[in-house]
Amino acid sequence: MSIIFSRKCEYGIQAVLLLTVEEEGGGVHSAEEIAGRLKIPKEFVSKILQELAVNGIIYSKKGKSGGFSLAKSPKELKLLDVVLAIDGPEMFNRCVLGFPNCSDKSPCPVHHKWSQLITQTFEMLSDETIDQFKQKTLNKIESIK
Amino acid sequence: MSIIFSRKCEYGIQAVLLLTVEEEGGGVHSAEEIAGRLKIPKEFVSKILQELAVNGIIYSKKGKSGGFSLAKSPKELKLLDVVLAIDGPEMFNRCVLGFPNCSDKSPCPVHHKWSQLITQTFEMLSDETIDQFKQKTLNKIESIK
DNA sequence: ACATAATCAGATTATTTTATCTGATTAAAC
DNA sequence: GTTTAATCAGATAAAATAATCTGATTATGT
Protein backbone atom coordinates (compact mmCIF):
# COMPACT_ATOMS: atom_id res chain seq x y z
CA MET A 1 0.00 0.00 0.00
CA SER A 2 1.11 3.50 -0.71
CA ILE A 3 1.71 5.38 2.45
CA ILE A 4 1.60 9.07 3.15
CA PHE A 5 2.94 9.08 6.65
CA SER A 6 4.08 6.23 8.81
CA ARG A 7 1.62 5.08 11.45
CA LYS A 8 3.97 6.44 14.04
CA CYS A 9 3.68 9.87 12.51
CA GLU A 10 -0.08 9.71 12.11
CA TYR A 11 -0.52 8.77 15.73
CA GLY A 12 1.87 11.51 16.79
CA ILE A 13 -0.05 14.14 14.87
CA GLN A 14 -3.33 12.95 16.29
CA ALA A 15 -1.99 12.95 19.82
CA VAL A 16 -0.69 16.49 19.47
CA LEU A 17 -4.00 17.62 18.05
CA LEU A 18 -5.80 16.04 20.96
CA LEU A 19 -3.55 17.80 23.46
CA THR A 20 -4.17 21.03 21.60
CA VAL A 21 -7.90 20.64 21.74
CA GLU A 22 -7.72 19.89 25.44
CA GLU A 23 -5.21 22.60 26.15
CA GLU A 24 -7.59 24.80 28.08
CA GLY A 25 -6.81 24.24 31.70
CA GLY A 26 -3.22 23.18 30.93
CA GLY A 27 -4.62 19.69 30.90
CA VAL A 28 -2.27 16.82 31.56
CA HIS A 29 -3.34 13.61 29.87
CA SER A 30 -2.01 10.12 30.43
CA ALA A 31 -0.88 7.92 27.58
CA GLU A 32 -3.69 5.57 28.46
CA GLU A 33 -6.32 8.27 28.10
CA ILE A 34 -4.87 9.48 24.81
CA ALA A 35 -4.72 5.95 23.45
CA GLY A 36 -8.26 5.30 24.53
CA ARG A 37 -9.71 8.41 22.99
CA LEU A 38 -7.83 8.00 19.74
CA LYS A 39 -8.40 4.26 19.72
CA ILE A 40 -4.76 3.44 19.08
CA PRO A 41 -2.40 1.07 20.94
CA LYS A 42 -1.36 2.43 24.31
CA GLU A 43 2.20 1.12 24.40
CA PHE A 44 2.88 2.35 20.90
CA VAL A 45 1.57 5.83 21.51
CA SER A 46 3.54 5.96 24.75
CA LYS A 47 6.76 5.55 22.83
CA ILE A 48 5.72 8.23 20.38
CA LEU A 49 4.78 10.62 23.17
CA GLN A 50 8.21 10.05 24.70
CA GLU A 51 9.88 11.03 21.44
CA LEU A 52 7.75 14.13 21.18
CA ALA A 53 8.73 15.03 24.73
CA VAL A 54 12.44 14.58 24.03
CA ASN A 55 12.06 16.87 21.05
CA GLY A 56 10.35 19.54 23.09
CA ILE A 57 7.00 19.39 21.34
CA ILE A 58 5.18 18.27 24.45
CA TYR A 59 5.97 18.19 28.13
CA SER A 60 5.92 14.99 30.15
CA LYS A 61 5.29 14.67 33.84
CA LYS A 62 6.19 11.45 35.64
CA GLY A 63 4.55 9.80 38.59
CA LYS A 64 1.01 9.62 39.77
CA SER A 65 -1.36 12.04 38.06
CA GLY A 66 1.42 12.55 35.53
CA GLY A 67 0.99 12.59 31.78
CA PHE A 68 1.59 14.79 28.78
CA SER A 69 0.73 18.35 27.88
CA LEU A 70 1.61 20.82 25.14
CA ALA A 71 4.99 22.50 25.48
CA LYS A 72 4.21 25.25 22.98
CA SER A 73 1.18 27.35 22.34
CA PRO A 74 -0.88 26.04 19.44
CA LYS A 75 -0.10 29.26 17.57
CA GLU A 76 3.59 28.46 17.51
CA LEU A 77 3.12 24.82 16.74
CA LYS A 78 3.64 23.35 13.29
CA LEU A 79 2.49 19.92 12.25
CA LEU A 80 5.75 19.86 10.33
CA ASP A 81 7.64 19.93 13.62
CA VAL A 82 5.76 16.88 14.77
CA VAL A 83 6.69 15.01 11.63
CA LEU A 84 10.32 16.02 11.99
CA ALA A 85 10.39 15.04 15.65
CA ILE A 86 9.05 11.58 14.95
CA ASP A 87 10.45 10.58 11.60
CA GLY A 88 13.33 12.98 11.15
CA PRO A 89 14.14 14.90 7.99
CA GLU A 90 14.49 11.87 5.73
CA MET A 91 11.03 12.28 4.34
CA PHE A 92 12.01 15.63 2.92
CA ASN A 93 15.24 14.30 1.51
CA ARG A 94 13.57 11.35 -0.11
CA CYS A 95 12.21 12.00 -3.56
CA VAL A 96 8.57 11.24 -4.26
CA LEU A 97 9.56 9.64 -7.53
CA GLY A 98 12.59 7.97 -6.04
CA PHE A 99 15.07 10.05 -8.00
CA PRO A 100 18.54 9.96 -6.56
CA ASN A 101 19.99 13.35 -5.62
CA CYS A 102 16.65 15.08 -5.96
CA SER A 103 16.88 18.49 -4.30
CA ASP A 104 15.98 22.12 -4.74
CA LYS A 105 18.99 22.57 -6.97
CA SER A 106 18.49 19.37 -8.92
CA PRO A 107 14.74 18.77 -8.73
CA CYS A 108 12.76 15.83 -10.02
CA PRO A 109 9.76 16.65 -12.20
CA VAL A 110 7.40 17.07 -9.27
CA HIS A 111 9.84 18.22 -6.61
CA HIS A 112 8.89 21.90 -6.50
CA LYS A 113 5.16 21.38 -6.50
CA TRP A 114 5.47 18.72 -3.89
CA SER A 115 7.64 20.48 -1.35
CA GLN A 116 5.55 23.60 -1.75
CA LEU A 117 2.42 21.68 -0.86
CA ILE A 118 3.94 19.87 2.06
CA THR A 119 5.11 23.12 3.55
CA GLN A 120 1.83 24.91 2.97
CA THR A 121 -0.26 22.09 4.31
CA PHE A 122 1.63 21.56 7.52
CA GLU A 123 3.14 24.93 8.19
CA MET A 124 0.69 26.01 10.82
CA LEU A 125 -1.71 24.41 13.17
CA SER A 126 -4.64 26.52 12.09
CA ASP A 127 -7.73 27.27 14.14
CA GLU A 128 -9.65 25.50 11.44
CA THR A 129 -7.57 22.39 11.95
CA ILE A 130 -8.11 22.46 15.67
CA ASP A 131 -11.82 23.10 15.39
CA GLN A 132 -12.32 20.30 12.93
CA PHE A 133 -10.30 17.94 15.03
CA LYS A 134 -12.35 18.85 18.06
CA GLN A 135 -15.53 17.98 16.20
CA LYS A 136 -14.09 14.71 14.94
CA THR A 137 -12.90 13.70 18.36
CA LEU A 138 -16.19 14.51 19.96
CA ASN A 139 -18.00 12.61 17.26
CA LYS A 140 -15.77 9.63 17.83
CA ILE A 141 -16.47 9.66 21.53
CA GLU A 142 -20.17 10.05 20.90
CA SER A 143 -20.21 7.09 18.59
CA ILE A 144 -18.67 4.91 21.27
CA LYS A 145 -21.29 5.66 23.88
CA MET B 1 10.69 6.88 8.23
CA SER B 2 7.85 8.79 6.69
CA ILE B 3 7.12 7.57 3.26
CA ILE B 4 5.38 9.23 0.39
CA PHE B 5 5.03 6.26 -1.91
CA SER B 6 5.99 2.67 -1.38
CA ARG B 7 9.16 1.53 -3.07
CA LYS B 8 7.03 -0.59 -5.32
CA CYS B 9 5.22 2.48 -6.50
CA GLU B 10 8.36 4.55 -6.93
CA TYR B 11 9.93 1.85 -9.05
CA GLY B 12 6.77 1.50 -11.09
CA ILE B 13 6.64 5.20 -11.84
CA GLN B 14 10.28 5.25 -12.79
CA ALA B 15 9.87 2.24 -15.06
CA VAL B 16 6.91 3.81 -16.83
CA LEU B 17 8.83 7.05 -17.28
CA LEU B 18 11.72 5.14 -18.76
CA LEU B 19 9.45 3.36 -21.21
CA THR B 20 7.96 6.71 -22.12
CA VAL B 21 11.30 8.28 -22.78
CA GLU B 22 12.27 5.32 -24.94
CA GLU B 23 8.93 5.13 -26.66
CA GLU B 24 10.15 6.30 -30.05
CA GLY B 25 10.50 3.18 -32.14
CA GLY B 26 7.90 1.33 -30.09
CA GLY B 27 10.84 0.07 -28.09
CA VAL B 28 10.48 -3.16 -26.16
CA HIS B 29 12.67 -3.33 -23.09
CA SER B 30 13.44 -6.32 -20.94
CA ALA B 31 13.04 -6.24 -17.17
CA GLU B 32 16.76 -6.75 -16.90
CA GLU B 33 17.53 -3.69 -18.96
CA ILE B 34 15.04 -1.56 -17.05
CA ALA B 35 16.42 -2.72 -13.74
CA GLY B 36 19.95 -2.03 -14.88
CA ARG B 37 19.25 1.45 -16.11
CA LEU B 38 17.25 2.44 -13.07
CA LYS B 39 19.64 0.61 -10.77
CA ILE B 40 16.88 -1.23 -8.94
CA PRO B 41 16.48 -4.97 -8.24
CA LYS B 42 15.59 -6.95 -11.33
CA GLU B 43 13.28 -9.52 -9.74
CA PHE B 44 11.38 -6.86 -7.87
CA VAL B 45 10.85 -4.65 -10.87
CA SER B 46 9.77 -7.70 -12.86
CA LYS B 47 6.89 -8.25 -10.50
CA ILE B 48 5.91 -4.62 -10.71
CA LEU B 49 6.05 -4.65 -14.49
CA GLN B 50 3.76 -7.68 -14.47
CA GLU B 51 1.22 -5.82 -12.38
CA LEU B 52 1.39 -2.83 -14.68
CA ALA B 53 0.82 -5.16 -17.62
CA VAL B 54 -2.20 -6.79 -16.01
CA ASN B 55 -3.66 -3.35 -15.44
CA GLY B 56 -3.16 -2.34 -19.04
CA ILE B 57 -0.62 0.40 -18.41
CA ILE B 58 2.10 -1.39 -20.32
CA TYR B 59 2.21 -4.25 -22.77
CA SER B 60 4.28 -7.36 -22.17
CA LYS B 61 5.71 -9.65 -24.77
CA LYS B 62 6.94 -13.10 -23.76
CA GLY B 63 9.75 -15.19 -25.15
CA LYS B 64 13.04 -14.29 -26.74
CA SER B 65 13.43 -10.62 -27.59
CA GLY B 66 10.38 -10.03 -25.46
CA GLY B 67 9.93 -7.34 -22.86
CA PHE B 68 7.74 -4.41 -21.99
CA SER B 69 6.46 -1.39 -23.84
CA LEU B 70 3.92 1.37 -23.28
CA ALA B 71 0.31 0.41 -23.88
CA LYS B 72 -0.94 3.99 -24.03
CA SER B 73 0.40 7.11 -25.61
CA PRO B 74 2.20 9.31 -23.10
CA LYS B 75 -0.47 11.96 -23.71
CA GLU B 76 -3.16 9.70 -22.30
CA LEU B 77 -1.06 8.39 -19.46
CA LYS B 78 -1.44 9.60 -15.89
CA LEU B 79 1.04 8.89 -13.15
CA LEU B 80 -2.03 8.50 -11.01
CA ASP B 81 -3.00 5.42 -13.02
CA VAL B 82 0.37 3.89 -12.29
CA VAL B 83 -0.11 4.44 -8.58
CA LEU B 84 -3.58 2.96 -8.71
CA ALA B 85 -2.42 -0.04 -10.71
CA ILE B 86 0.34 -0.87 -8.24
CA ASP B 87 -1.02 0.07 -4.85
CA GLY B 88 -4.74 0.26 -5.47
CA PRO B 89 -7.05 3.01 -4.28
CA GLU B 90 -6.26 2.61 -0.59
CA MET B 91 -3.86 5.48 -0.59
CA PHE B 92 -6.66 7.81 -1.56
CA ASN B 93 -9.00 6.35 1.00
CA ARG B 94 -6.47 6.55 3.76
CA CYS B 95 -6.37 9.84 5.57
CA VAL B 96 -3.07 11.69 5.85
CA LEU B 97 -3.78 12.42 9.48
CA GLY B 98 -5.18 8.97 10.10
CA PHE B 99 -8.72 10.18 10.66
CA PRO B 100 -11.25 7.43 10.35
CA ASN B 101 -13.97 7.99 7.75
CA CYS B 102 -12.13 10.88 6.19
CA SER B 103 -13.65 11.62 2.79
CA ASP B 104 -14.82 14.43 0.53
CA LYS B 105 -18.05 14.59 2.49
CA SER B 106 -16.45 14.31 5.90
CA PRO B 107 -12.96 15.74 5.41
CA CYS B 108 -10.11 15.91 7.88
CA PRO B 109 -8.48 19.32 8.31
CA VAL B 110 -6.06 18.85 5.43
CA HIS B 111 -8.12 16.54 3.24
CA HIS B 112 -9.14 19.02 0.56
CA LYS B 113 -5.75 20.62 0.13
CA TRP B 114 -4.13 17.26 0.03
CA SER B 115 -6.31 15.51 -2.52
CA GLN B 116 -6.19 18.60 -4.69
CA LEU B 117 -2.41 18.48 -4.75
CA ILE B 118 -2.21 14.79 -5.39
CA THR B 119 -4.52 15.11 -8.33
CA GLN B 120 -2.77 18.13 -9.77
CA THR B 121 0.66 16.68 -9.36
CA PHE B 122 0.00 13.34 -10.96
CA GLU B 123 -2.85 14.03 -13.31
CA MET B 124 -0.88 14.17 -16.47
CA LEU B 125 2.44 12.91 -17.67
CA SER B 126 3.59 16.30 -18.89
CA ASP B 127 6.22 16.96 -21.53
CA GLU B 128 8.18 18.70 -18.84
CA THR B 129 8.14 15.57 -16.73
CA ILE B 130 9.32 13.42 -19.59
CA ASP B 131 12.03 15.86 -20.63
CA GLN B 132 13.37 16.13 -17.12
CA PHE B 133 13.33 12.41 -16.67
CA LYS B 134 15.18 11.98 -19.95
CA GLN B 135 17.92 14.27 -18.71
CA LYS B 136 18.12 12.52 -15.37
CA THR B 137 18.29 9.13 -16.95
CA LEU B 138 20.98 10.18 -19.39
CA ASN B 139 22.93 11.77 -16.57
CA LYS B 140 22.69 8.60 -14.57
CA ILE B 141 23.97 6.52 -17.45
CA GLU B 142 26.76 8.97 -18.11
CA SER B 143 27.85 8.83 -14.50
CA ILE B 144 28.17 5.06 -14.70
CA LYS B 145 30.51 5.07 -17.66
C1' DA C 1 5.97 5.71 55.02
C1' DC C 2 3.15 3.33 51.80
C1' DA C 3 0.17 2.40 47.99
C1' DT C 4 -0.83 3.91 43.61
C1' DA C 5 -0.59 5.56 38.97
C1' DA C 6 1.98 7.28 35.87
C1' DT C 7 6.42 7.73 32.68
C1' DC C 8 10.42 5.49 30.93
C1' DA C 9 13.75 1.98 28.99
C1' DG C 10 14.88 -2.08 26.86
C1' DA C 11 13.75 -6.47 24.91
C1' DT C 12 10.76 -9.20 22.32
C1' DT C 13 7.16 -10.49 19.03
C1' DA C 14 4.16 -9.86 14.98
C1' DT C 15 3.17 -7.99 10.66
C1' DT C 16 4.14 -5.85 6.45
C1' DT C 17 7.09 -4.61 2.93
C1' DT C 18 11.00 -5.45 0.15
C1' DA C 19 13.88 -8.49 -2.13
C1' DT C 20 15.43 -12.99 -3.86
C1' DC C 21 15.21 -17.63 -5.56
C1' DT C 22 13.59 -21.57 -8.38
C1' DG C 23 11.48 -23.44 -11.95
C1' DA C 24 7.92 -23.39 -15.67
C1' DT C 25 6.32 -21.39 -19.84
C1' DT C 26 6.67 -18.77 -24.04
C1' DA C 27 8.31 -17.38 -28.48
C1' DA C 28 12.03 -15.77 -31.41
C1' DA C 29 16.32 -16.93 -33.92
C1' DC C 30 19.19 -20.09 -35.86
C1' DG D 1 13.63 -28.88 -33.88
C1' DT D 2 16.85 -27.01 -30.69
C1' DT D 3 18.81 -23.32 -28.32
C1' DT D 4 18.21 -19.14 -26.22
C1' DA D 5 16.33 -15.18 -23.88
C1' DA D 6 12.68 -13.50 -22.16
C1' DT D 7 8.08 -13.36 -19.13
C1' DC D 8 5.50 -15.47 -15.50
C1' DA D 9 4.13 -17.82 -11.05
C1' DG D 10 4.81 -19.23 -6.61
C1' DA D 11 7.66 -19.89 -2.67
C1' DT D 12 11.00 -18.18 0.37
C1' DA D 13 14.21 -14.94 2.85
C1' DA D 14 15.54 -10.48 4.68
C1' DA D 15 14.59 -6.05 6.45
C1' DA D 16 11.76 -2.53 8.27
C1' DT D 17 7.80 -1.13 10.72
C1' DA D 18 4.31 -1.75 14.13
C1' DA D 19 2.92 -3.53 18.34
C1' DT D 20 3.53 -5.76 22.83
C1' DC D 21 5.62 -7.15 27.09
C1' DT D 22 8.33 -6.71 31.37
C1' DG D 23 10.19 -4.36 34.80
C1' DA D 24 12.30 -0.12 36.71
C1' DT D 25 11.77 4.50 38.10
C1' DT D 26 9.25 8.56 39.53
C1' DA D 27 6.17 11.40 42.01
C1' DT D 28 1.52 12.05 43.91
C1' DG D 29 -1.89 11.41 47.33
C1' DT D 30 -3.46 9.23 51.48
> Is B121–A129 a contact, with Cβ atoms under 8 angstroms apart?
no
**pLDDT for residue B144:** 38
Residue A123 has pLDDT above 50, yes or no: yes
Q: Please give the mean pLDDT across all residues of chain B.
A: 81
Residue B15 has pLDDT above 70, yes or no: yes
| Distance of alpha carbon B43 from alpha carbon A127, whole angstroms | 49
- Yes or no: say if B57 and B71 are a contact pair by the CB < 8 Å rule: yes
- Yes or no: say if B87 and B7 are a contact pair by the CB < 8 Å rule: no
Residue B140 has pLDDT above 60, yes or no: no
Burial class (CB in 10 A: 0-12, 13-18, 19+), A28: middle
Residues of A with CB under 8 A from a CB of B: 1-7, 9-11, 13-14, 17, 83, 87-88, 90-91, 94, 96-100, 107-110, 113-114, 117, 120-122, 126, 128-129, 132-133, 136, 140
Each residue's pLDDT tens digit, A52-96 = 999 999 999 999 989 999 998 888 888 888 988 998 877 777 787
Per DSSP, A8 falls in state H
Higher pLDDT, A116 or A37: A37
Question: Which residues on B lie below 8 Å from A98 (Cβ)?
Answer: 5, 7, 10-11, 13-14
Residue A141 has pLDDT above 50, yes or no: no
Q: Name the CATH topology of A7-144.
A: Arc Repressor Mutant, subunit A (1.10.10)
3-state SS of A73-102 is: CCCCCCHHHHHHHHHCCHHHHCCCCCCCCC
**pLDDT for residue A99:** 72
**pLDDT for residue B145:** 32
| Distance of alpha carbon A14 from alpha carbon B137, whole angstroms | 40
Tell me the residue type at B105.
Answer: K
Give residue limits of the domains in chain B.
7-144
Question: Which residues on A lie below 8 Å from B6 (Cβ)?
Answer: 1-3
Confidence of residue A136 (pLDDT cuts 50, 70, 90): low
